[in-house]
């Protein structure tokens, strides 16, 4: 895909479709036992979603000169793996003992549609298939990258900090630490994994790591904002859930106006990593995140 004259919507749609094809290919078949578990895994993964993590991996791969998009190219294993890990985290976060959410992507959450035991195991299984797929890339480097990003110093650490911060007074720094871990670490890792699989040089890898961190934080701040002023129909989940759960959100810490401002600044900073005149897909994705309504 060339990045000249990018139509961002078409580009995203194409990668989303490609991601769905890969997910369908690598999720275990519902014809095979344990059928109920395979159904639950597919239910949650195929319920929709923006496929942002595969998009980031693919775009970073392309940006760094990756050119092999064949069926068994390493990037084709990493893209569905990243989405599966994301879905696993959502299924576990939605559990009654955590956020206790009933609705996700406009549909009943996994434990509501099935039951809690199935939801715990479907999450575990997605977590697992992701590593099985990443092993097919042949790169232990990307496996270490993902495992670190979603572990206790990353995504899981962010989730427990998020649960612990409920109902407490939080500063902007507290929220940034939670967001950077809970959401940002996997988004940054998605960018880095795409870059690594393209054989990026150190300079590009460093630049894209900063890019990933900035858009990752912006993404979550905007998520907090949409939870206040978004459209439930468009979002596919209940608006006001953060407030109901007394979540630590960025607008709660600094106010809505400052939150909007800071998110836009992060996007500008991310774009400023590239030459002014450079028209590349990563800039378009940053702008897409800035303007997203879902």
Q: How far is the CB of 119 from a second copy (least distance, A)?
A: 8
Single out the residue of 217, 214, 238 nearest to residue 228, CA to CA: 238
Report the C-alpha gap between 267 and 216 in whole angstroms: 10
In the complex with a second copy, the residue whose CB is nearer, 41 or 195, is 41
Give, in order, the Cα–Cα distances in Å from 69 to each of 75, 79, 81, 208, 233. Answer: 7, 11, 16, 20, 35
In the complex with a second copy, the residue whose CB is nearer, 160 or 294, is 160
Cα 46 to chain centroid, rounded: 15
- From first CA to last CA, the distance across the chain in angstroms is 25
Crossing angle of helices 140-149 and 74-94, in 10° steps, is 20
Q: Which residues bind a second copy (CB under 8 A)?
A: 28, 32-34, 36-38, 41, 92, 95, 97-98, 115-118, 120-121, 123-125, 127-129, 131-132, 134-141, 143-144, 147-148, 150-153, 156-157, 159-161, 163-164
In the complex with a second copy, the residue whose CB is nearer, 70 or 97, is 97
In the complex with a second copy, the residue whose CB is nearer, 177 or 187, is 177
Q: How far is the CB of 271 from a second copy (least distance, A)?
A: 32
Residues in the chain: 294
In the complex with a second copy, the residue whose CB is nearer, 186 or 198, is 186
Return left, alpha or beta for 269; rule: phi > 0 is left, psi -120 to 50 is alpha, else beta. alpha
Q: How far is the CB of 215 from a second copy (least distance, A)?
A: 24
Q: How far is the CB of 223 from a second copy (least distance, A)?
A: 20
DSSP string, 50-72: --HHHHHHHHHHHHTT----STT
């Amino acid at each position: 895909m060339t990045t000249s004259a990018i139509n961002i919507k078409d580009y995203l749609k194409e990668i989303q479709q490609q991601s769905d094809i890969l997910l369908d290919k690598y999720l275990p078949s519902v014809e095979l036992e344990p059928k109920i578990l395979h159904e639950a895994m597919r239910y949650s993964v195929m319920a929709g979603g923006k496929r942002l993590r595969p998009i980031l991996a693919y775009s970073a791969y392309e940006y760094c000169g990756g050119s092999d998009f064949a069926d068994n190219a390493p990037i084709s294993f990493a893209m569905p793996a990243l989405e599966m890990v994301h879905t696993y985290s959502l299924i576990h976060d939605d559990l009654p003992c955590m956020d206790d959410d009933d609705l996700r992507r406009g549909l009943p959450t996994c434990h509501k549609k099935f039951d809690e035991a199935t939801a715990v195991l479907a999450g575990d299984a997605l977590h697992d298939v992701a590593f099985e797929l990443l092993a097919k890339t042949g790169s232990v480097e990307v496996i270490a990258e993902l495992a670190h990003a979603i572990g206790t110093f990353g995504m899981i650490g962010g989730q427990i900090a998020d649960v612990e911060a409920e109902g407490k007074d939080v500063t902007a720094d507290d929220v940034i630490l939670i967001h950077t871990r809970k959401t940002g670490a996997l988004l940054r890792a998605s960018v880095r994994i795409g870059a690594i699989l393209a054989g990026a040089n150190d300079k590009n890898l460093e630049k894209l790591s900063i890019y990933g961190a900035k858009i990752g934080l912006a993404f979550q701040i905007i998520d907090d904002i949409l939870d206040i002023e978004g459209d439930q129909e468009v979002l596919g989940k209940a608006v006001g859930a953060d407030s109901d759960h007394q979540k630590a959100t960025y607008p709660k810490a600094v106010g809505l106006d400052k939150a909007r401002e800071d998110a836009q600044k992060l996007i500008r900073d991310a774009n400023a990593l590239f030459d002014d005149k450079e028209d590349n897909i990563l800039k378009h994705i940053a702008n897409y995140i800035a303007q997203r309504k879902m």
